[in-house]
Amino acid sequence: MNLANGGKRGLLGLCFAALIFLGAAEADARPAPTSFAELAERLSPAVVNISTSHVVDPGEMELRGIPEDSPLHEFFEEFLEQQRKSGPQRMQSLGSGFLIDPDGIVVTNNHVIDGADRIEVIMTDGTTLPATVAGTDPKTDLAVLRVESDKPLPYVEIGDSSGLRVGDWVLAIGNPFGLGGTVTAGIVSALNRDIHAGNYDDFIQTDAAINRGNSGGPLFNLDGEVVGVNSAIISPSGASVGIGFAVPASTVKPIVAQILEYGETRRGWIGVRIQTVTPDLADSLGLGAARGALVAGVTSEGPAAEAGLEPGDVVLAFDGRNIATMRDLPRVVAEARIGSTVDMQIFRDGETLTRRIAVAQLADEPEEEPAAPAVAEPENKGPVVLGLGLSALNDDLRRRFNVGENLSGVVVVEVDPLSAAAEKGVREGDVIVQVAQRAVSSPEDVLRIVTSEQKAGRNSVLLRLVAEGETRFVAIRLGGS
């Protein structure tokens, strides 16, 4: 009897504790609203339709991608010929956007207005206003427009996306196809998504339906603040399948501010080329867990060079912000104030160091010139190490692989396709300049250091490679040469 009573008291106590815990969790989490009607009614007037058009000259159209001997080639060639005879045509497209100022500032996607020679903003009440482009940022697919009105326009506020969590409710409002507003609700299904759209990918992923024509529309939280700009979906059909992406407000707000102030974006730049720190690279560097951004190259006379950064350094923090992965660094540097001097934490030779670095402005990247074609020359192969046929550099090999006179190292002349080196992308023409962060000038140097690393019980060895003037690091598993 006592045991039973004690068991009941224990069970009641456990249930009570569980209720307290659940109550605390419910206090932290925001409950689902019974309706989004009030929110949609309040916000929809600020969401607009973006109608664009541009003139296409059929005479400039070319048939590409279809072999001339294909039956389809003749069919489409006839179709194009008919289009050419009809003369220039005006093509139209539609998207969404939203007002952020009563004086007529509109935010949308760059791809919605790209190439347009006529842009109109259509309000939910049917009012049509001509728009001009205040500025664009193709790197984040954002654009800012201006419209003029004889009365204040409805608008919404760009909020703070940093507090978003997976599972939070969001509302996507668009104005596609001239139908008036569309409203869809869902949750945040992922954060910090990289969809390989550019160097600054940091997308919010949501299952709120985003269909064609919703591009450029706002993603709202339950406070009615814009937390993202709907930009892309993953779908084989073009319709929503529950995977949509929005540019976060933390990216949108500073870009819009820069465009309104300067007419363009101004990003920070420090002059490094970086690569991902893989587990193999982290092991070979003695870093432990894979983290940070590995410096593969340093621009001469750039801020990083002046601060003393070297290839092989791993950037762990920048201006007090942690760099967990390689793609964190471009965003953090881009957002830094141009002209400021900040602390940067790096890992080098087993030590964590701090360097002061000045943030410069990123200039437009010049187009790369195609490399000169390689000319076959006789090889002078040395020993095979790590599945790589190696040779000392000579004049013939420098010409063949376009290696500058000032570069010292050992050139790769053959790669075993089944080797670990081949898996990591090592290829003919790569010049090995360092092995295990020690300079090499002959195949025998490479063999000696690799053998030494094997005897020391290393799992992998770090190679610093140069090809066509570009530096990268590769960690090769050890298990025989």
Give me the mean pLDDT over the 437-454 stretch: 89
Give CA–CA dist 102/123, Å, rounded.
13
| Range name among 33-47, 50-64, 317-331, 340-354 with the lowest pLDDT average | 50-64
Q: Is the pLDDT of residue 12 over 70?
A: no
If pLDDT is split at 50, 70 and 90, which confidence band does 382 have?
Answer: low
- Confidence (pTM): 0.66
Of the residues 44, 51, 93, 111, only one is catalytic, namely 111
Nearest of 197, 86, 216, 240 to residue 145 by alpha carbon: 216
End-to-end CA distance of the chain: 75
Instruction: Determine whether 141 is an active site residue.
Output: yes
Rounded to a whole number of angstroms, the CA Rg of the chain reads 29
Are domains 40-265 and 384-477 of this chain identical in fold? no
Burial 1-18 (b: 16+ CB within 10 A, else e): eeeeeeeeeeeeeeeeee
Is residue 371 over pLDDT 50?
Answer: no
pLDDT of residue 23: 43
Percent of the chain exceeding pLDDT 90 equals 39
Query: How many whole angstroms separate alpha carbon 54 and alpha carbon 52?
Result: 7
Q: What is the mean pLDDT of residues 439-445?
A: 90
Predicted pLDDT of residue 408: 87
Instruction: Give pLDDT, residue 217.
Output: 92
Give 384-477's CATH code, choosing from 3.40.50.720, 3.40.109.10, 2.30.42.10, 3.40.50.1980. 2.30.42.10
Q: Is the pLDDT of residue 275 over 60?
A: yes
Q: Is residue 238 predicted with pLDDT exceeding 70?
A: no
Q: What is the mean pLDDT of the chain?
A: 81
Beta strands at 460-467 and 470-477: parallel, antiparallel or unpaired: antiparallel
Q: Name the one residue in this structure whose structure tokens are 């599945």.
A: 387
CATH hierarchy code of domain 268-361: 2.30.42.10
What's the pLDDT band for 98 if we cut at 50, 70, 90? very high
> Does the pLDDT of residue 414 top 80, yes or no?
yes
Residue 111 annotated among the catalytic residues of the structure: yes
What string of H, E and C letters represents the secondary structure of the chain? CHHHHHHHHHHHHHHHHHHHHHHHHHHHCCCCCCCCHHHHHHHHHHEEEEEEEEEECHHHCCCCCCCCCCHHHHHHHHHHHHHHHHCCEEEEEEEEEEEEECCCEEEECHHHHCCCCEEEEECCCCCEEEEEEEEEECCCCEEEEEECCCCCCCCCCECCCCCCCCCCEEEEEECCCCCCCEEEEEEEEEEEECCCCCCCCCEEEECCCCCCCCCCCEEECCCCCEEEEEEEECCCCCCCCCCEEEEEHHHHHHHHHHHHHHCCCCCEECCEEEEECCHHHHHHHCCCCCCCEEEEEECCCCHHHHCCCCCCCEEEEECCEECCCCCHHHHHHHHCCCCCEEEEEEEECCEEEEEEEECEECCCCCCCCCCCCCCCCCCCCCCEECCEEEEECCHHHHHHCCCCCCCCCEEEEEECCCCHHHHCCCCCCCEEEEECCEECCCHHHHHHHHHHHHHCCCCEEEEEEEECCEEEEEEEECCCC
Return the higher-pLDDT residue of 33 and 452. 452
Distance (Å, whole) CA 310 – CA 348: 9
Structure confidence at residue 89 (pLDDT) = 57
Q: Which CATH class is domain 40-265?
A: mainly beta
Please give the Cα distance from 232 to 245 (Å, whole number).
5
Residue 21 has pLDDT above 50, yes or no: no
Active-site residue flag, 160: no
Q: Please give the Cα distance from 384 to 382 (Å, whole number).
A: 7
> Between 145 and 70, whose confidence is greater?
145
Spans of all domains in the chain: 40-265, 268-361, 384-477
Q: Is the pLDDT of residue 34 over 70?
A: yes
Q: Which of 44, 93, 161, 215 is catalytic?
A: 215
What type of residue sits at position 430? D
pLDDT at site 59: 54
| pLDDT reading at 367 higher than 50 | no
Q: Considering the candidates 137, 141, 201, 313, report the single residue annotated as catalytic.
A: 141
Q: Assign 468 a pLDDT band (cuts: 50, 70, 90).
A: confident
- Between 10-14, 27-31, 419-423, 438-442, the lowest mean confidence (pLDDT) is in 10-14
Residue-level pLDDT at 7: 42
Cβ(50)–Cβ(113) below 8 Å: yes
Cα angle, residue 295 at apex, residues 289 and 296 outer, rounded to 5°: 115
Q: Is the dihedral of CA 118, 123, 124, 126 positive or negative?
A: negative
Would you state the structure tokens that stand for residue 167, as one six-digit string?
């599972």
Residue whose structure tokens are 């190679």? 463
pLDDT band at 369 (very low <50, low <70, confident <90, very high): very low
Above 70 in pLDDT, residue 261? yes
Q: How far apart are CA 186 and CA 172, in angstroms?
A: 8
Spatial contact of 107 and 229, defined as CB atoms under 8 Å apart: yes
The pLDDT of residue 53 is 78
Highest mean pLDDT among 175-179, 279-283, 319-323, 412-416: 319-323
- The band of 171, judged by pLDDT with boundaries at 50, 70 and 90, is very high
More confident residue, 447 or 383: 447
Strand-strand pairing, 268-269 and 244-248: unpaired
Q: What is the pLDDT of residues 209-218, one digit of tens each?
A: 887 778 899 9
How many residues comprise the chain?
481
What is the C-alpha to C-alpha distance for residues 85 and 223, in angstroms, rounded to an integer?
Answer: 55
pLDDT at 15 over 50: no
Contact in structure between 278 and 326 (CB atoms under 8 Å)? no
Q: Which pLDDT belongs to residue 355?
A: 94
